[in-house]
A and B are shown apart, each in its own frame.
Chain A
């Protein structure tokens, strides 16, 4: 890991419009605030964890960064170049260059591979699109990719439905690696897998990072795996980042009440240890209509009047620790 910034996300916003449909008209009746002003930077060779409950905008953040969804506003810089600008109006060669640099591994390996293609076709597809590998080298490269992710060359002639979930996720990782990317957004890559398979996939990802200096955006709601794999972690709540810190600092000294509640919910594999679970009251409010000021205030055990009226600043509290809470000093 170096200090050089590879990917910089600035004030990313994604609202989904909600329409009511008449016979001939479509009237916009509201917006889902899926991602609301998210900023962070990922360094070369770093794993950046992004955690939060279901529906807090983690996946949308990743999809918007790769422009699989259009951003409402905000910018993403990859190696100093404006991703959205280039993908929208750049030359085909620029677009391909951006696409080669950033890849994504999806949550559900049962949906992320084309069921009508053999593994060989799936893995050589990137070679067709980018033309960076001559046709005569395809076989060698496909076998190399399969070996790299822990599969065998003869698997190339099979179809996705013949593999287990873990094997499919390996194929999905191999497809991402086929373009030699510098950055991979991994959207809950292990959450649909067996617990025994999870560690294998995470180890594979870490190995690849060591060998090829790949940066990851690792999205998960599973805090133990985030702790295991990430260098830095950001915590999201209702489309906003509420705390961002290096992994040790975040897990040892969580400053935001929401982070504290999340960490208190991690199961401890020791029946003797007494846990102090912080139970948050209520449900996550609707992102259609997020609460004003601090979005966490309706569920926060420490909420005061100021939390309902003034939005907390996302401030730096330590060398590598940021938090958005009026009362962080109370917890420091």
Chain B
């Protein structure tokens, strides 16, 4: 008897049954079944590991012309120089490793900045009605039509002093980040238009929830899926932009990136074809990896393809 009354008076404990699968867990299960998506993820993870730990094993420091002094400039691939060396004696294998680090940093950091700005501006533009919404839309459209590549070309000349002080890579990150967000904003804005009229948002209003609570706790989590997909594609786009930039000769000098290697390699492509070939293959592989990952995510997160 005493046990019974104790049970009745004690406050009920939260039933710890297994918490059921979140939508993210369901999406992950679906993603795992998609072979090309998993391949993309594997490529991306491999490059990230390569970028983080590779420099520990890189035989030479970045942009090192040590081999030139040993008479080893312009050597084809060998055991000593797996990707060969270029005309100044720079070891292509070493610089590819250092380049992976810089390229991933440019791709990921610029995407992070662009995504945060895009999310904030898009969310506000989608949620505010009337004049403010119109002004924000105007701002998004203005940034959307600015040709980012030309701006970068311009800024890398204007801020040449900064570039010489070793700020080169981060300058590219900043410009790509600060001008790369309008696409994400457009998508977010449209998604918010869709979600904000749904009945669970109205139910929140009826409960008396404030605007910020509704926007950031209920609307934004429900529009994140396309952002994840767009962000993974944007990383690939940013890496390609970096390559184009260096290829056109506008990259900051003395920075080891794939684009720099390709630019150097192309000048002597008939004599030393390996200089452009190997970093080129790396660019293609990594960009392919991010694109496969993005496609896989898009399929896995699409609610209309429910099993």
What residues of chain A have their CB less than 8 Å away from a CB belonging to chain B? 63, 66, 68, 95-96, 98-100, 102-104, 106-108, 111-116, 118, 120, 125-126, 129-130, 136-137, 139-140, 143, 153-154, 156-159, 161-162, 172, 175, 179
Q: Which residues of B contact A118 (CB under 8 A)?
A: 19-20
- B147 proximal to A (CB < 8 A): no
What residues of chain B have their CB less than 8 Å away from a CB belonging to chain A? 11-15, 17-23, 198-200, 202-209, 213, 218, 221-222
- Taking a contact as CB atoms under 8 Å apart, the answer to whether B204 and A125 are in contact is yes
Q: Which residues of B contact A103 (CB under 8 A)?
A: 206-207
Set B12, B22, B202, B218: member contacting A68, Cβ < 8 A: B202
Min C-beta distance of A116 to chain B, whole Å: 5
- Taking a contact as CB atoms under 8 Å apart, the answer to whether B206 and A66 are in contact is yes
Set B11, B15, B22, B203: member contacting A159, Cβ < 8 A: B22
Min C-beta distance of A168 to chain B, whole Å: 11
Min C-beta distance of B192 to chain A, whole Å: 15
Q: Which residues of A contact B23 (CB under 8 A)?
A: 115-116, 159, 161
Set A116, A126, A158, A179: member contacting B222, Cβ < 8 A: A116
Closest to B197 in A: A111
- Taking a contact as CB atoms under 8 Å apart, the answer to whether A139 and B13 are in contact is yes
Alpha-carbon distance between A62 and B231 when the two chains are bound, in angstroms = 41
Closest to A125 in B: B207
Alpha-carbon distance between A175 and B207 when the two chains are bound, in angstroms = 9
Min C-beta distance of B98 to chain A, whole Å: 41
- Taking a contact as CB atoms under 8 Å apart, the answer to whether A175 and B12 are in contact is no
Closest to B20 in A: A158
Q: Which residues of B contact A120 (CB under 8 A)?
A: 14
Min C-beta distance of B18 to chain A, whole Å: 8
Q: Which residues of B contact A156 (CB under 8 A)?
A: 14-15
* 13 further contact pairs, Cβ within 8 A, besides A125-B204, A125-B209: A100-B208, A104-B203, A104-B206, A108-B199, A111-B199, A112-B199, A113-B200, A116-B222, A126-B207, A129-B207, A139-B11, A158-B20, A159-B23
CB-CB under 8 A for A102 and B200, given A143-B12, A157-B15, A159-B22: no
Alpha-carbon distance between A63 and B199 when the two chains are bound, in angstroms = 11
- Taking a contact as CB atoms under 8 Å apart, the answer to whether B202 and A106 are in contact is yes
Min C-beta distance of A120 to chain B, whole Å: 8
Set B13, B18, B222: member contacting A114, Cβ < 8 A: B222
Min C-beta distance of A185 to chain B, whole Å: 9
- Taking a contact as CB atoms under 8 Å apart, the answer to whether A68 and B206 are in contact is yes
In the complex, the 9 A-B pairs of residues with the closest C-beta atoms, listed nearest first: A99-B208, A112-B199, A106-B199, A111-B199, A139-B14, A116-B221, A114-B200, A104-B206, A158-B20
- Taking a contact as CB atoms under 8 Å apart, the answer to whether A157 and B207 are in contact is no
CB pairs A–B below 8 angstroms (23 shown): A66-B206, A99-B206, A99-B207, A106-B199, A106-B202, A111-B198, A112-B202, A114-B200, A118-B19, A120-B14, A125-B209, A126-B207, A129-B207, A139-B13, A140-B11, A153-B12, A153-B15, A154-B15, A157-B17, A159-B20, A161-B23, A175-B203, A179-B207
Alpha-carbon distance between A298 and B274 when the two chains are bound, in angstroms = 84
Alpha-carbon distance between A245 and B32 when the two chains are bound, in angstroms = 61
- Taking a contact as CB atoms under 8 Å apart, the answer to whether B203 and A172 are in contact is yes
Closest to B222 in A: A116
CB-CB under 8 A for A63 and B207, given A129-B213, A139-B14: no
Alpha-carbon distance between A122 and B133 when the two chains are bound, in angstroms = 29
Min C-beta distance of B7 to chain A, whole Å: 13
Alpha-carbon distance between A52 and B198 when the two chains are bound, in angstroms = 23
Alpha-carbon distance between A125 and B203 when the two chains are bound, in angstroms = 11
Q: Determine which residue in A66, A116, A179 has the highest number of CB atoms from chain B within 10 A of its CB, and name it.
A: A116
Q: Which residues of B contact A111 (CB under 8 A)?
A: 198-200
Q: Which residues of A contact B202 (CB under 8 A)?
A: 63, 68, 104, 106, 112
Closest to B24 in A: A116
Q: Which residues of A contact B22 (CB under 8 A)?
A: 116, 159
Q: Which residues of A contact B221 (CB under 8 A)?
A: 116
Q: Determine which residue in B23, B206, B213 has the highest number of CB atoms from chain A within 10 A of its CB, and name it.
A: B206
Alpha-carbon distance between A112 and B22 when the two chains are bound, in angstroms = 18
Q: Which residues of A contact B18 (CB under 8 A)?
A: 157
Q: Which residues of A contact B199 (CB under 8 A)?
A: 106-108, 111-112
Set A104, A125, A136, A179: member contacting B11, Cβ < 8 A: A136
Closest to A100 in B: B208
Min C-beta distance of B226 to chain A, whole Å: 15
Q: Which residues of A contact B207 (CB under 8 A)?
A: 99, 103, 125-126, 129-130, 175, 179
Alpha-carbon distance between A107 and B199 when the two chains are bound, in angstroms = 9
Q: Which residues of B contact A104 (CB under 8 A)?
A: 202-203, 206
Alpha-carbon distance between A143 and B218 when the two chains are bound, in angstroms = 23
Alpha-carbon distance between A63 and B206 when the two chains are bound, in angstroms = 9
Alpha-carbon distance between A107 and B213 when the two chains are bound, in angstroms = 24
Q: Which residues of B contact A114 (CB under 8 A)?
A: 200, 218, 222
Min C-beta distance of A73 to chain B, whole Å: 20
Q: Determine which residue in B19, B20, B205, B209 has the highest number of CB atoms from chain A within 10 A of its CB, and name it.
A: B20
- Taking a contact as CB atoms under 8 Å apart, the answer to whether A157 and B19 are in contact is yes
Alpha-carbon distance between A295 and B101 when the two chains are bound, in angstroms = 73
Q: Which residues of B contact A139 (CB under 8 A)?
A: 11-14
Alpha-carbon distance between A139 and B11 when the two chains are bound, in angstroms = 8
Q: Which residues of A contact B198 (CB under 8 A)?
A: 111-112
Alpha-carbon distance between A66 and B15 when the two chains are bound, in angstroms = 35
